[in-house]
């Protein structure tokens, strides 16, 4: 298969397949998890402002007292790469064009030099986290094949995308095709791995907030 | 699969709900929960990572409730939960977890880990893997009415003692009283001054109250062991007593887990809302203080700090009241680092202090509490949980620290003027 | 004249000096020592009964008595025996005797109360009926004061 054929495939059938699996996977998994439901809490509630499911969805993004000082790498590198990913995915002009072709809407992007800078920061943050996962006893102890696999799944799109823009290593067409392929792999595996936290984090934080909010405790 | 394992697995399957499913699927193995758990921070052993304490339950969830998991099981790619594994996990689920809830509040993806541990204990206890110490307590509660075998005559003896010392009658089975006061075995046995303190306070506040002869015990060993059936039996005794006596409010004593069991889990265990309110004694004292019913005299002048019982503060939402009460009777009240919501566990709750094999681990974990004391350097520590008191005294003794531990309710009562009640002539 | 009620009793105790409070408290605890028989308590009582004791001695027996007390707490969830539990209150009473006195504390009264609880525990175990410990304590105090009065 030539470079161009590869690129055409990942842009065409590959993409359709990946998005299809992604969407169906997400819907199925959301159903699988949340259809279990939960019993109603019959204890007399204690209503306290700020103690609810919704407020925890937001509040939990702030490290609780003492934790940032205790684990700066996890929090700082974690935020850098999450925010970095969001910025790159949603504010890089070629990506916005892609969303436009898919959804019919577009929005202003950030200057490409900024995206480039953010991409480098994101790559560094992810490498730092990989190193941290290898060296910190608790992280290493908890880590399974899935942790390393999903790290690679998330890292490769950023790396290949950045390399493509920089015209590094391989011809642009190939690099671009690889980038799209890695994104498709990410999409396919996302619903079925810990990456699904991208969706369940809202549900989990909400449940925690609601259960504790019933007691008037703002978590 | 053995019969007991089957039972355990069945129970576990029943308790798994959407929150638990959401939590297991959200965990990204970041390890922050370990940093919040005193059993990890003081030992450095990663096996005490809170989410790891749930591993068998996680696998069971995956194998039973996810398509992918069921598929893996079908093709023989999944590891089944075994008797041996559950036995191995006993230490993690009981000895090294006090249900303190710190892990739950730090998890960045919002996992309520303590909620899951509590449910996991249901399966552990159903499969026969609960520690002997708590099993005995649970059985005694069912058979005798108290986890420590405290019977009504003993309670009556304490009542007489208080009546003689303070000249205040202790009502028993008084129908229509506003408050039903619950006691915990720990208080009856170790801190009988609590009953006298209650009598003094109620007398001064002018409130009607009573004990109940069929339900004086608040401690819920069923809750600690993780056996809802047992927990329900204990709660229903209290509910029956409260309804029979037509009280408005049931007061949970200075025992953290008793409060959680009655206030937050009770109605769910009974399957219906209560017809009465449940309040922790500290909440009630807080209300009295706000209403101006506590007319205290004098102040403690030594340097005091307050240890927040986990079930009262972080898990129960009662955080300000104890501080207001302290300020009412103490001139030199200083907070320890991480005081209030994020305070560190004493290391003995959730049944942990009843587990003999876990003592060494508890002493290790106590170093965290000790470090808080070393920083704030108090003359005395005040708290509002009989178990915390003893666990801390034991820890302090172990580390040769001379630091008295006192109860808040008693301290408040000490600052109330002695009741002016004339004793009947000719005893 | 022996006290006839606790109010009188308490006030009389309050008026004693630190050393006197220790000594009379030790006498109270002595009566229930049989419910404990812990050597550390014995040591604490022996020290407390002496009119003159150094801070160093106090510190040593204080630590030991406190250990005895902490060990005798009934553990949450353990099956308890009221006779053993009485031992806890004997230890608490002994600890009261030898703790350094803080402002406004009535050590002897605290010790007396703990002794009475120890008796109550004995009663709770069913072996003994209601006790008359208070009267015995009034008598001890009265006796002690008379003996003190005789000294120059």
- pLDDT at position B427: 40
Most B CBs within 10 Å: which of A207, A211, A218, as the mutation test of the B interface? A207
| Coil/strand/helix, residue B98 | coil
| Burial environment of residue B235 by CB neighbours within 10 A (0 to 12, 13 to 18, 19 or more) | buried
Name the nearest CA neighbour of B408 among B333, B316, B315.
B333
* Stronger pLDDT, B397 or C20, i.e. the higher one: B397
Judged by a CB distance cut-off of 8 A, whether residue B422 touches chain C is no
Does this chain's domain B134-290 share its CATH topology with B304-414?
yes
How distant, in Å, are the alpha carbons of A101, A148, B372 from that of A188? 20, 16, 49
Residues of C in Cβ contact (< 8 Å) with B133: 77-78
Residues of C in Cβ contact (< 8 Å) with B402: 62-63, 66
| CATH hierarchy code of domain A3-42+65-198 | 1.20.950.20
Give the chain B residue whose CA is nearest to the CA of C104: B300
Question: Would residue C1 count as lying in a domain?
Answer: no
Q: How many domains does chain C have?
A: 1
Would you list the domain boundaries of chain B?
3-129, 134-290, 304-414
Total count of residues recorded for chain B: 427
**Chain A to chain B Cβ contacts (< 8 Å):** 171
Distance from CA of B86 to the nearest CA of A (A): 18
| DSSP-derived secondary structure for C45-90 | HHHHHSS---HHHHHHHHHHHHHHHHHTSPPTT----HHHHHHHHH
Name the nearest CA neighbour of B247 among B286, B203, B223, B215.
B215
Q: Mean per-residue pLDDT for B122-136?
A: 89
Question: Would residue C150 count as lying in a domain?
Answer: no
Q: Mean per-residue pLDDT for B159-176?
A: 88
| CATH hierarchy code of domain B304-414 | 3.40.50
Give the chain B residue whose CA is nearest to the CA of A28: B67
List the chains bordering chain C where 3 or more Cβ pairs fall under 8 Å: B
- pLDDT at position C126: 66
Torsion angle defined by CA atoms of residues B97, B132, B150 and B316, in that order, rounded to the nearest 10 degrees: 20
Residues 6+ apart with CB under 8 A from C130: B160, C123
B400-424 pLDDT, tens digit per residue, is 998 999 999 999 999 998 777 554 5
Tell me what the pLDDT averaged over chain B comes to.
92
B68-106 pLDDT, tens digit per residue, is 999 999 999 999 999 999 999 999 999 999 999 999 999
How many C-beta atoms surround the C-beta of residue C142 within 10 A?
A: 15
Would you list the domain boundaries of chain A?
3-42+65-198
Per-residue confidence of chain A (219 residues) as pLDDT tens digits?
788 899 999 999 999 999 999 999 999 999 999 999 999 999 999 999 999 999 999 999 999 988 999 999 999 999 999 999 999 999 999 999 999 999 999 999 999 999 999 999 999 999 999 999 999 999 999 999 999 999 999 999 999 999 999 999 999 999 999 999 999 999 999 999 999 999 999 999 999 999 999 999 999
Cβ-contact A61, B46 below 8 angstroms: no
Cβ-contact C117, C89 below 8 angstroms: yes
Residues of A in Cβ contact (< 8 Å) with B30: 74, 78, 139
Question: Would residue C151 count as lying in a domain?
Answer: no
Distance from CA of A171 to the nearest CA of B (A): 35
Verify whether the Cβ–Cβ distance C77 to B423 is below 8 Å: no
Where in the sequence is the domain holding C126, given as residue range(s)? Answer: 6-145
Residues of B in Cβ contact (< 8 Å) with C66: 397, 402
- B262 has pLDDT over 70: yes
Give the chain B residue whose CA is nearest to the CA of C112: B165
pLDDT above 70: percentage of residues in chain B: 98
What class does CATH assign to B3-129? mainly alpha
- Cβ-nearest to B134 among C77, C80, C134: C77
- pLDDT at position B426: 41
C97-130 pLDDT, tens digit per residue, is 887 665 557 888 888 888 988 888 887 766 556 6
How many C-beta atoms surround the C-beta of residue B190 within 10 A?
A: 26
- Cβ-nearest to B353 among C76, C88, C103: C76
3.40.50, 1.10.287, 3.20.20, 3.30.70: CATH of B134-290: 3.40.50
Judged by a CB distance cut-off of 8 A, whether residue B154 touches chain C is yes
What's the start-to-end Cα distance of chain C, in Å?
20
Chunk chain C into consecutive blocks of 10 residues (it has 152) and report each block's average pLDDT, rounded to whole numbers. 80 84 89 89 89 83 89 79 86 85 72 87 69 85 82 44
- Cβ-nearest to C79 among B149, B153, B390: B149
Verify whether the Cβ–Cβ distance C79 to B190 is below 8 Å: no
- B263 has pLDDT over 90: yes
- pLDDT at position B400: 92
Question: Would residue C139 count as lying in a domain?
Answer: yes
Residues 6+ apart with CB under 8 A from B152: B145, B213, B216
């Amino acid at each position: 298969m030539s470079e161009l054929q590869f690129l055409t495939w990942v842009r065409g059938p590959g993409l359709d397949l990946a998005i299809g699996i992604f969407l169906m996977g997400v819907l199925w998994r959301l159903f699988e998890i949340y259809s279990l439901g939960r019993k109603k809490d019959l204890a007399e509630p204690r209503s306290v402002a700020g103690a609810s499911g919704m407020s925890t969805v937001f509040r939990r993004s702030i490290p609780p007292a003492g934790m940032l000082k205790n684990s700066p790498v996890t929090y700082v590198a974690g935020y850098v790469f999450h925010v970095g990913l969001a910025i790159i995915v949603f504010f890089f002009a070629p990506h916005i064009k892609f969303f436009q072709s898919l959804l019919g809407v577009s929005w202003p992007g950030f200057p490409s030099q900024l995206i480039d800078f953010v991409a480098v920061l994101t790559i560094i943050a992810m490498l730092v986290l990989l190193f941290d996962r290898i060296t910190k006893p608790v992280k290493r102890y908890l880590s399974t094949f899935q942790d390393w696999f999903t790290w690679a799944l998330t890292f490769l799109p950023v790396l290949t995308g950045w390399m493509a823009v920089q015209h590094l290593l391989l011809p642009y067409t190939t690099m671009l095709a690889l980038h799209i392929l890695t994104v498709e792999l990410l999409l396919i595996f996302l619903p079925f791995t810990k990456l699904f936290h991208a969706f369940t984090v809202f549900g989990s934080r909400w449940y925690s907030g609601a259960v504790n909010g019933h007691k008037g405790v703002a978590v | 699969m053995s019969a007991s394992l089957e039972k355990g697995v069945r129970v576990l399957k029943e308790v798994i709900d959407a929150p638990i499913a959401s939590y297991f699927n959200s965990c990204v193995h970041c390890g922050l929960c370990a940093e919040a758990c005193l059993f990890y921070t003081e030992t450095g052993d990663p096996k005490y990572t809170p989410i790891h304490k749930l591993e068998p339950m996680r696998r069971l969830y995956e194998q039973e409730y996810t398509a992918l998991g069921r598929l893996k099981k079908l093709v023989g790619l999944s590891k089944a939960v075994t008797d041996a594994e559950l036995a191995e996990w006993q230490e993690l689920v009981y000895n090294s977890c006090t249900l303190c809830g710190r892990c739950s509040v730090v998890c960045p993806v919002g996992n309520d880990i303590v909620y899951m541990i509590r449910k996991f204990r249901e399966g552990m206890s159903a499969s026969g893997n609960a520690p002997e110490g708590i099993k005995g307590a649970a059985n005694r509660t069912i058979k005798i009415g108290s986890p420590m075998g405290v019977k009504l005559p003993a309670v009556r003896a304490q009542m007489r003692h208080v009546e003689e010392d303070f000249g205040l009658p202790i009502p028993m089975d008084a129908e229509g009283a506003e408050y039903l006061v619950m006691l915990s075995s720990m208080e009856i046995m170790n801190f009988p001054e609590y009953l006298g303190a209650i009598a003094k306070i109620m007398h001064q506040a002018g409130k009607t109250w009573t004990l109940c002869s069929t339900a004086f015990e608040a401690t819920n060993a069923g809750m600690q062991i993780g056996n809802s059936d047992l927990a329900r039996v204990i709660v229903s005794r209290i509910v029956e007593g409260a309804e029979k006596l037509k009280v408005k409010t049931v007061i949970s004593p200075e025992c953290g887990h008793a409060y959680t069991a009655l206030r937050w889990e009770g109605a769910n265990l009974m399957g219906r809302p209560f017809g009465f309110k449940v309040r922790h004694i500290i909440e009630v004292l807080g209300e009295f203080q706000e209403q101006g019913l506590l007319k205290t005299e004098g102040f403690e002048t030594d340097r005091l700090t307050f240890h927040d019982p986990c079930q009262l503060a972080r898990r129960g939402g009662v955080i300000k009241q104890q501080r207001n009460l302290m300020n009412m009777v103490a001139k030199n009240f200083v907070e320890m680092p991480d005081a209030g919501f994020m305070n560190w566990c004493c290391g003995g709750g959730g049944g942990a202090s009843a587990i003999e094999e876990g003592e060494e681990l508890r002493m290790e974990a106590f170093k965290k509490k000790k470090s808080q004391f070393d920083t704030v350097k108090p003359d005395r520590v005040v708290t509002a949980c009989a178990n915390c008191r003893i666990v801390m005294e034991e820890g302090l003794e172990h580390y040769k620290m001379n630091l008295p531990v006192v109860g808040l309710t008693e301290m408040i009562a000490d600052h109330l003027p002695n009741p002016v009640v004339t004793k009947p002539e000719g005893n | 004249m022996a006290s006839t009620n606790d109010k009188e009793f308490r006030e009389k105790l309050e008026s004693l000096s630190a050393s006197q409070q220790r000594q009379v408290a030790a006498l109270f605890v002595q009566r229930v020592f049989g419910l404990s028989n812990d050597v550390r308590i014995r040591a604490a009582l022996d020290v407390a009964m002496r009119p003159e004791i150094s801070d160093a001695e106090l510190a040593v027996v204080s630590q030991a008595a406190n250990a005895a007390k902490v060990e005798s707490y009934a553990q949450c969830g353990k099956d308890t025996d009221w006779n053993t539990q009485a031992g806890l209150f004997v230890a608490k009473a002994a600890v009261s005797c030898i703790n350094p006195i803080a402002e406004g504390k009535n050590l002897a009264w605290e010790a007396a109360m703990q002794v009475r609880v120890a008796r109550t525990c004995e009663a709770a175990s069913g072996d003994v009926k209601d006790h008359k410990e208070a009267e015995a304590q009034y008598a001890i105090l009265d006796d002690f004061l008379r003996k003190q009065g005789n000294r120059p």
